Amino acid sequence: MRSLRLIVPAVFMSAAVIAAGAPAGAANTPTPHSEWWLSSWGIDKIWPITQGNGVTVAVLDTGVNARLPDLAGSVLPGGDMTGAGTDGRTDTDTQKGGHGTAMAALIVSKGRSTGVLGVAPQARVLPVTVGNGTATAEDFHVRIAKGIRYAVDHGAKVISISQAFPASGYPESCPTDILDSVEYAARHDVVIAAATGDDGGAGNPAQAPASCPGVLAVGAVNADTRPWQLTQQVPFTAVAGPGGTVGWVGKDGKPGRTGSGTSQATALTAGGLALVRAANPSMTAREVVQRAMATALDSGTPGRDDQTGYGAFRIHRAMDLSFAVPRTAPNPPYERLDRVMGQQAPSSTPATSGQAEKKKSGGGVPVGPIVAVVVFVLVIGLAVAVGVARRQRADGGSPGDRTPDAEQDAAPQSFGRPDRRDPGGH
């Protein structure tokens, strides 16, 4: 979360390992910290399909130093909810060396000067300054509520929040103004991911906005997909992202800092959600969240647990529609939101959700069964038409209407052929 605990990096990884999918200009020298999640997520298989093009991720944090070479061209003018009047492209963090910049780099860094690669380097970051722990809880939740609405109104499709405050004392563990903003985001088809917290060894207090209905609450796992030791244990955890031994780039542009936390896990998961949305632009926010949980890799205690939720987030499964997810699969974040807001939950996933864009990699949903059904319907229709015509001739009438030309719709396409072996084992 807000505190980045410094630990010795466990492994080193060269950007050359993922050169097949690396963005142009990325450094091919070893990064000064581990980026184990890139190989774990099989990013070399994902980036040839999408690197997040066309998706804006709002980062509600301390602002972002947009002048860094690694972030140049990737950070949009944003907003400042603290009243300081910035456009979000200045990192105001005076405690952790640039928390907001670090989160943005994990999402969109191109590695031009550091070799550090973001998970969705062709996405765009919308920086929304809300400050950090120096604000009171009352001021902070007002800033976050305003920040969510600002992000929605300025084109974000994913909102990443690696900041939090105590949620005790609020109905549903969520202040009313934030709840209203989350519902606003849901109505505008925007996914919100927020960090559960780093107090798993000290009481596990509920923290907002991760505790709010309608928010994908993110815990943290290590490289072995086991729960990071301090990830919060709370009943609303939905999935877990890479959080153990995750390096970052500060607002001074210097890499080499390493740490662990649900802050990093949330930013990386938000980047992964951007990839899912870029690959499937008609997939609704509700379905994105549902698929993120349904396709996660079980981690920690078997079944859903309070540390990692439904398990470690897997980008390739969430984005590949050949990994079937029942329309009735659990969706606790939205089920809670529907209940609290008095809404009727959709009876099924919208029909457009399966209309992923056709990709060059081929594959997707087999068209054979669809063609067979269409042919069967046409044969039956023709038989009925022939029977009607015969009856009309018997009655002295004319054949009447002709059978209309049948037009077969294109079959829904997934992002590629299913890889049941799971790249990287995750």
For 121-139, the pLDDT digits (tens) are: 999 999 999 997 666 777 8
With contact defined as beta carbons under 8 Å apart, do 125 and 64 qualify?
Answer: yes
Q: What angle do CA 421, 43, 159 make, to 5 degrees?
A: 115
Structure confidence at residue 135 (pLDDT)? 67
The answer on pLDDT for 110 being more than 60 is yes
The residue behind tokens 């990699």 is: 361
d(CA 55, CA 156): 7
Q: Is 280 exposed, middle or buried (0-12, 13-18, 19+ CB in 10 A)?
A: buried
Between residues 110 and 10, the one the model is more confident about: 110
The answer on pLDDT for 406 being more than 50 is no
Q: Hey, what amino acid is at 143?
A: R
Token pair of 346 as six digits:
């959709």
Q: What number is the average pLDDT over the span 159-166?
A: 95
Catalytic residue among 33, 34, 40, 61: 61
Percent of the chain whose pLDDT exceeds 70: 71
Structure confidence at residue 4 (pLDDT)? 34
Q: Is 99 a catalytic residue?
A: yes
Could you tell me what percentage of the chain is helix, strand and coil, using 3-state DSSP and rounding each to the nearest 5?
30, 15, 55
Structure confidence at residue 203 (pLDDT)? 86
Read off the pLDDT band of 216 (50, 70, 90).
Answer: very high
Average pLDDT over the chain reads 79
Question: What DSSP designation does 30 have?
Answer: B
The answer on pLDDT for 79 being more than 80 is yes
1: Cα within 13 Å, side-chain hemisphere = 25
Token pair of 224 as six digits:
């072995």
Structure confidence at residue 345 (pLDDT)? 52
Catalytic residue among 70, 74, 91, 99: 99
Helix H segments across 115-204? 137-153, 176-187
Structure confidence at residue 3 (pLDDT)? 37
Q: Is 263 a catalytic residue?
A: yes
Between residues 224 and 354, the one the model is more confident about: 224
The answer on pLDDT for 157 being more than 90 is yes
Catalytic residue among 160, 181, 263, 322: 263
pLDDT in tens, 8-49: 222 223 333 333 445 544 433 334 446 999 999 999 999 999
Q: What number is the average pLDDT over the span 194-221?
A: 94
Read off the pLDDT band of 259 (50, 70, 90).
Answer: confident
Q: What number is the average pLDDT over the span 350-358?
A: 35
Label the pairing between strands 158-161 and 191-195. Answer: parallel
Domains of the chain by start residue, with CATH? 15-354 (3.40.50.200)
Structure confidence at residue 378 (pLDDT)? 47
pLDDT in tens, 164-184: 999 988 888 999 999 999 999
Between residues 138 and 328, the one the model is more confident about: 328
Between residues 348 and 183, the one the model is more confident about: 183
Structure confidence at residue 255 (pLDDT)? 85
The answer on pLDDT for 383 being more than 80 is no
Read off the pLDDT band of 408 (50, 70, 90).
Answer: very low
* Cross-strand partners of 161: 60, 194
Percent of the chain whose pLDDT exceeds 90: 63
With contact defined as beta carbons under 8 Å apart, do 305 and 383 qualify?
Answer: no
* Intra-chain end-to-end CA distance of the chain, in Å: 24
- Least confident piece of the model among 6-15, 46-55, 247-256, 392-401: 6-15
What pTM value is reported for the model? 0.77
Cα 224 to chain centroid distance, Å, stands at 21
d(CA 135, CA 157): 27
Label the pairing between strands 246-248 and 79-80. Answer: unpaired
Q: What number is the average pLDDT over the span 300-312?
A: 94
Output b/e per residue, 299-319; b: 16+ Cβ within 10 A: bbeeebbbbbbbbbbbbbbbb
Q: Is 3 a catalytic residue?
A: no
